[in-house]
Chains A and B, each alone.
Chain A
Amino acid sequence: MKIGYYPGCAITRGSSSEEYGMSVMKVSQVVGPVIEEIPDWNCCGASSAHATNHKLSTALSVRNLSLAEKYEYKEILAPCPMCSQRLIISQKDVQDDEALRKEVEDAIEMPCGSSVKVSNYLEIIKNYCMDEIAQKIKKSAKGLKVACYYGCLLVRPPKVLKFDDPEDPQSMDEIVKAIGAQPVDWEFKTNCCGGGFTLSRTDVVVKLTNDILEGAVEAGADAIAVACPMCHANLDMRQKKIEKEYKRKFNIPIVYISELIGLSLGLGSIGLGLDKHFVDTKSVVNAYS
């Protein structure tokens, strides 16, 4: 079975979060499933589209679903939760609203892709890779305490995404456990990091991420695992600024769950993109022995 791959703008090669895409690819080469990039995909429009133009947002997202169907993918992987959330919501919106569906079909000049299943990265790992990972695990990081940070977009709105408990999700924690690290119980799993305000209202991002970093450190975490390029950018790239603003030191590595899986499979840290982070990830890399 082949799964369509929708990287989205943020994690594609040459983008700000390309290490997420790199590590997702590397991991899939070892434990599957086969993922193939959907030809000529376009940006889902992200926050900027849904915040200002519902029809545009829906059309941009649905075009990708229609392409996926055209190339006969039954399921697609969108590792960026902004993308997966937009794709799923748009799919539901055109299903529920006949008038909107017609308008969107007129705009994208294709029938709406209504049957393709959109999965986030955690779902793909949990549904297809857990046995493979168990068999192929080479290294474990016993004692590495990881705070799993899900953010908003993986779990909300719960009734549409139908993924995990929106208040206390467990999927990433279970993966972390499976690869021999230790998830910590903490209170900020699904708090908002400020998401798309990183450029426009950096002050808001700095405040919210400070709370999250503090929560993780207080819970005794050595690293924070994420599955979202925006969460990553805000916690990693902005960490220096947060430290300066609040006059404190966190120095806590922010790693993608795919990078952690890669490390446990014995993959090289450079290939996984662990050198591309702002906060040094050596402590995490060294924990895998």
Chain B
Amino acid sequence: MGKKIGVFVCHCGTNISATVDVEKVAEEAKKKYPGVSYATTYKYMCSDPGQKLLREKIEEEGLTGVVVAACSPKMHERTFRNAAVKTGLNPYQVEVSNIREQCSWVHHDKALGTEKSIDLVRMMTEKARKDRSLDSIKVPVTKRALVIGGGIAGIQAALDIADGGIEVILVEKDASIGGHMAQLSETFPTLDCSQCILTPRMVEVAQHENIKLYTWSEIESVGGYIGNFDVKIRKKARSVDLDLCTGCSSCWQVCPSKKIKSDFEMNLGNRTAIYIPFPQAIPSKPVIDREHCLLFRDARKKGIPPAESKVCRKCYDVCPIAPVKAIDYSHEDEIVEEKVGAIVVATGYQELKNNLYGEYGKGKYADVITGLQFERLASASGPTEGLIKRPSDGKEPEIVVFIQCVGSRDPAKGCSYCSKTCCMYTAKHTMLYKHKVHHGHAFVFYIDIRCGGKNYEEFSLRAIEEEGATYLRGRVSRIYKKGDKLIVLGADTLTGSQVEIEADMVVLASAMKAQDDAEDVARKLSIQYDKDRFFSELHPKLRPVESSNAGIFLAGACQGPKDIPETVAQASGAASKVQALLSSDELEREPVVARVDRLPPPLFSTCIGCFYCQRVCPYGAIEQEDIKARDGSVIKTVARVNVGLCQGCGLCAATCRSKSVELEGFNDEQVFAEINSVEFN
């Protein structure tokens, strides 16, 4: 029976109609395309009247297939399919022909654009003629979530999900949760203390009955698919039993290795080999840094098990827990497995390392510090207890130069984007400095001041107008040392002059960069990332918290530079996505999956069992199936697709040598019909 296909050409305002003669496309379709019994155009097909038009015409004209010529199917395929379903039409009888992104937006010549659109629509009607009705696949859902990263993004997401009654696994690679926010002194634009607003949230995490916390742990691998992920977590050897330890602090007080540079203090302070990163750490229980611990160093040198080394066992000896001590030198990495239905990635950022700018000394001047280092100097719990002292000699700096855009907006140094937070935190730094050193002078070199946020502009103006920071418009070309001063060579383009400042300290507003292991994490999760290695959102406007892999969501600076309010908002957004996903017992999945054919005996299947498909499948969705005789003996082993895992990428179908694999909705017959419909001149 011939199909009755309706073609609906969208103007998209003027997005399409400016470059494509939509009326002509509809006319051609009706006149010339086989199977087309109705064609029309409409200003906005995706709007309510547009969808109504679609529904009405399906019913009035008795359409059995639909082609909507509009924007990308990524945008509105689901919209049109849902509209069609209401009339009783199978959603997979609805096709979208992309004449916007792939035609009107990329062409200028209207005649050519029209001609191309006519071709594109013809191709899709040919495919629609061969469309089969498909039923969506239902899969059960594991009602637990994984949050990767215990900074403010991860904390917020975990708490929001857990508050909704869903169990959360929170994995943090460091010894404590808290992330970069725990390092900050005060926060813009209110100057409230970072610790005061963060640490209560950390405690909530620790005490929440729905949150299972793994610190000092990393994601080993992620398998499965939306609704049903299998996660392996590597619990790194902590050398301290978290169940036994009470966090009494005896061990880190006696540890003899006291001069290890503290990461948390951005190398401005020291810690011991058995340590908690900072006093408010969660959990408040230590970890042994095996690289620096005397016992582990000795054991490595001698090639003996650590427990046999006798060099130093002070922490073990002092541990008051009995009868079994909380310290265990023989701890080893442990892999635990968890099943979850959704994942939030909140792995954060790193500050640009202080060794990229040769002209600023490549990190060789002690008094040229980064933004996070300044946070530690200004923090009441920092190495100077909040006094602004320069690292080289502990002197109070009387002239401090702040340089913005270090590593940001600097394609020559491999980073073209704006880090977005530096204008604000530099304004904050000048205030913190002036509050602590009243007679001090703060100079800021900037290119542009970008303070787009609620109360942000006012905040940065306050730094200039009320707190007395002097802003100079220009980049700094060079910093060098002269005596105990740093000579800063800059410019003020507003007066058209060079500016030379004899400074006591320089603070670099260093860029926010993707984590070193971002690509590795992306690979484990099969999610996409951009040229700067930040994870990509599915749609820059409408799907900002979804990753390219269904069921995996993004929160915070792992997706791009962000400040705290924006991070928290995104984390809550991701959490609500997770809750929506996990609120149903079953998930409907698109039936666009591969199938390996099955035939009546004696052939059973044309599959020859080479399993090339298994090798190319990125999702591990190809399984082996034995086809058995009645007596149980194996007749042949053939491939079978696990439709729960299959993402419909089609690699197996393309690889199959015996043409036994077919991708539903994109089978050979349909694709060839599309191609053959184009008249090549």
Contacts and interface: CB of A to CB of B under 8 A. Distances in A.
Nearest to B480: A187
Interface string B342-370: 00000000000000001100100000000
A275 interface: no
A93 to B, nearest CB: 21
Contacts of B480: 187
A127 B481 CA distance: 32
11 contacts: A165-B358, A166-B358, A167-B358, A167-B359, A167-B362, A168-B358, A168-B362, A187-B480, A187-B481, A187-B482, A218-B482
Contacts of B482: 187, 218
A187 B358 CA distance: 11
Contacts of A167: 358-359, 362
A114 B313 CA distance: 67
Interface in A179-204: 187
Closest 8 CB pairs of A and B: A167-B358, A187-B480, A167-B359, A168-B358, A165-B358, A187-B481, A166-B358, A168-B362
A25 B480 CA distance: 37
B196 to A, nearest CB: 42
A167 B359 CA distance: 6
Contacts of B358: 165-168
A187 B359 CA distance: 10
B589 to A, nearest CB: 51
Nearest to A168: B358
B358 to A, nearest CB: 3
Interface string A153-190: 00000000000011110000000000000000001000
Interface residues of A, number: 6
Interface of A: 165-168, 187, 218
A134 B359 CA distance: 33
Interface string B470-507: 00000000001110000000000000000000000000
A218 B358 CA distance: 21
A167 B481 CA distance: 14
A82 B480 CA distance: 26
A29 to B, nearest CB: 37
A167 B358 CA distance: 5
A255 to B, nearest CB: 24
Nearest to A167: B358
A187 B480 CA distance: 6
A166 B358 CA distance: 8
A196 B555 CA distance: 57
User: Which of B358, B359, B481, B482 has the largest count of A CB atoms less than 10 A from its CB?
Assistant: B358
A187 B479 CA distance: 9
A187 B483 CA distance: 11
Contacts of A187: 480-482
User: Which of A165, A166, A167, A168 has the largest count of B CB atoms less than 10 A from its CB?
Assistant: A167
Contacts of B359: 167
Given A167-B359, A218-B482, 9 more contacts: A165-B358, A166-B358, A167-B358, A167-B362, A168-B358, A168-B362, A187-B480, A187-B481, A187-B482
Nearest to B358: A167
Nearest to A166: B358
B518 to A, nearest CB: 27
A167 B477 CA distance: 11
Nearest to A185: B364
Contacts of A218: 482
A82 B314 CA distance: 64
A168 B362 CA distance: 9
A180 to B, nearest CB: 25
Interface in B567-583: none
A166 B359 CA distance: 9
Interface in B446-480: 480
A161 to B, nearest CB: 15
B502 to A, nearest CB: 14
A10 B352 CA distance: 45
Nearest to A214: B482
Nearest to A187: B480
A187 B489 CA distance: 13
Contacts of B481: 187
A130 to B, nearest CB: 25
Nearest to B487: A187
Contacts of A166: 358
User: Which of A165, A166, A168, A218 has the largest count of B CB atoms less than 10 A from its CB?
Assistant: A168
Nearest to B479: A187
A166 B478 CA distance: 12
